[in-house]
Amino acid sequence: MSAWKRLFWGIGLWAFSNGFASDVLDLSRMNSTILFAKLYEISQSAEEYKGKTFRMKGYYELAKDEIDGKKYHVLLLSDAAACCNFSFEMEWDAHEKIPKKGSQVTVEGIFNPIFEEHMIIPQLKKTRIVP
Amino acid sequence: MPDLLETFLNYLQYGFVQRAFVVGILISLCASLLGVMLVFRRFSYLGDSLSHVAFGAMAIAAALNFTDDLLVMLPVTILCAVFLLRSGNGTLVKGDASIAMMSVGSLAMGYLLMNLFSKKANLSGDVCSTLFGSTSILTLSSFDTVLCASLSVAVILFFVLFYNSIFAIIFDETFAKASGVKVERFNLVMAIVTAAVIVFAMRLVGSLLVSALIIFPTVSAMRLFKSFWGVTLCAVVLSVFCTAIGIVVAILVGTPVGSTIVAVNILIFALTSIFRRVK
């Protein structure tokens, strides 16, 4: 491999890595296997990721709480076998147009874990749709 | 290709990917050594049976609200391994029938218990993940890694130190006993090792696919080598290779890890079979 190629790869890798190390944690580029593992890691250390901006790609659903009838905007992400789902509750940004139910969307929002009894509810605040 | 390499190198920075590789390789190493012992003794399906028992034990642990399900899984699986691996004298139900009964019974009871007592929201997802190991290997903690490394060292040491006795017991138990080998003691240790390896192997490929990790490397190796030592060494190399490639493909392409590893094992088996025919 020539010196120029090595330099190019090195810069490319550094830039790519810094893309992941920046304030926006881009999970939209990950495949379902790595995404699920990363989400599991986030769920195990939710406090460390609080306040970070996440970019994710998943399916939008409107879920209804059976007890109080409250509706929640949810982003569903599945693992490779589609048997395990991660869901994020979303609070849309003020002027954001809500997508169609069941549609695949890429969103960006601020991670805000809600700690309730023995579980963590992952929430995205100020969520907006990104291209 | 450069994109894939960059992506892989980037993923390799994640701690859970590094742990997956370390544990995956160690487990496959142990499973291959175990596989040599079981396949030659015609206990190939024991891995499947014990993994189902471990699944049932995990369900019991969940029902009893144990924080660490290993506390229930390991002892129960070891007890069943001892029961299944002991000689046929005096047993009511012999050989493959007892393995089959324990296998399906544990699986059914385990799923029933989980349905009745589990408090988790996504039960079917947890069951699916446990049975097929889609991402279990990518959700390990540092403690799991240390535990697995310790187990692997123990298994390798056992195999290396008692290689001659294991060889004698595998091929002629009666002769081994007559030669002064403490066969009952070895069978007990082998049962414990088998149970421990299978419980950990479930994290790699899931409960339903554990047998593949045990059987395929040995059978593929038997296509290439005739000596016990050759088969053992080849099985270890093939198992580690298939696991490493399987994990790489799974994390790059986005397929379930367990199934991908088994698919690579099948491919290698096909290639070794072709090689043998051509040779």
C-beta of residue B246 within 8 angstroms of C-beta of residue B261: yes
- Tell me which residue in B126, B128, B250 faces A33 most closely, judged by beta carbons: B250
Instruction: Tell me the shortest Cα–Cα distance from B135 to chain A, in angstroms.
Output: 6
A37–B256: do the CB atoms touch at under 8 Å? Answer: no
3-state DSSP assignment of residue B190: helix
Interface test with A, best of B127, B135, B209 (most A CBs within 10 A): B135
Please tell me the distance from the alpha carbon of residue B19 to that of residue A43, in angstroms, as a whole number. Answer: 18
Please tell me the distance from the alpha carbon of residue B122 to that of residue B130, in angstroms, as a whole number. Answer: 12
User: What is the tens place of the pLDDT at every residue in A44-96?
Assistant: 889 999 999 999 999 999 988 888 888 899 998 876 666 667 889 999 887 78
Which token pair is A64?
């209804």
3-state DSSP assignment of residue A123: strand
A11 touches chain B (CB under 8 A): no
Chain B residues touching residue A16 (CB < 8 angstroms): 6, 10
Query: Which architecture, in CATH terms, is A23-129?
Result: Beta Barrel (2.40)
Interface test with B, best of A34, A40, A72, A116 (most B CBs within 10 A): A34
From first to last of its 279 residues, chain B has per-residue pLDDT tens of: 778 888 899 899 999 999 999 999 999 999 999 999 889 888 888 888 888 889 888 888 888 877 677 888 889 998 888 887 764 554 455 667 777 888 888 888 888 888 887 666 666 667 777 787 777 888 888 888 898 889 889 988 998 898 888 888 888 888 888 888 888 888 888 888 889 999 888 877 888 888 899 999 999 999 999 999 999 999 999 999 999 999 999 999 988 898 999 999 999 999 999 998 887
For chain A, give every domain's residue range: 23-129
* Residues 6+ away with beta carbon under 8 Å from B87: B173, B187
A37–B6: do the CB atoms touch at under 8 Å? Answer: no
B257–A33: do the CB atoms touch at under 8 Å? Answer: yes
Whole-complex ipTM: 0.80
What is the CB-side half-sphere exposure of residue B267 using CA atoms within 13 A? 11
Please tell me the distance from the alpha carbon of residue B66 to that of residue B113, in angstroms, as a whole number. Answer: 14
B135–A38: do the CB atoms touch at under 8 Å? Answer: no
Interface test with A, best of B7, B131, B134 (most A CBs within 10 A): B134
Chain A residues touching residue B135 (CB < 8 angstroms): 33, 36-37, 40, 79-80, 84
